[in-house]
Structures are given as structure tokens and as C-alpha cells.
Amino acid sequence: MTRAQLQQMQAVVPAKTERVDISGVQLDMDVPAAMRAEHYLQQIGNPYAFRCGDIAVNVRFCPGGKTLAQAMQTYLAAKAGL
């Protein structure tokens, strides 16, 4: 999937009924990470708009914001009371 295709998907907000339910996505942990990512994208369709059961999920990133690793560190530190 190209960067342009991903940017186009990010701009689209489909109806909840048009979204893929992520609970049905299967990943083969025995294949390389790049191949798993490609298989995930093939299954999910739009990685920025999907469903988890009956919940519609929209994913957005803030330019210049925290990385996922930084956000997880902050979250885990708060949970651990650090």
C-alpha cells in the first residue's frame, strides 16, 4: 500500500456498517513483520477507520506529537504509580 493510498484512507470516514470488524482479523505470527503488516492491511481495508464489535474506531495521529512508544511509557508509568 502506498503512502498516497494511506493518506486518502485517512481522509475518509466511512459509516460504521462499512467498516471491517477487527475482531475477525487473523495474523500469522510465523511470517516476517512486514508481511504481517501487509496481510493486516489487506484484511482491515482502512487502518484509520474500523470496528471493534459494535464500536466504530477512528485513528488519528498528531504531527509532532508523542510516538506510540512514548505514549505507552507514559500510560504504563501512570498505571504503575511512577
Residue 5 confidence (pLDDT): 81
The residue range of the domain holding 8 is 3-80
Residue 39 confidence (pLDDT): 92
Residue 82 confidence (pLDDT): 64
Distance of CA 24 to CAs 11, 29, 44, 71, Å?
24, 16, 9, 26
pTM greater than 0.85: no
Mean pLDDT by 10 residues, the chain (82 residues): 79 88 91 90 90 91 82 86 70
Residue 54 confidence (pLDDT): 93
Domain count for the chain, please give it: 1
| Contact indicator for 13, 49 with CB cutoff of 8 Å | yes
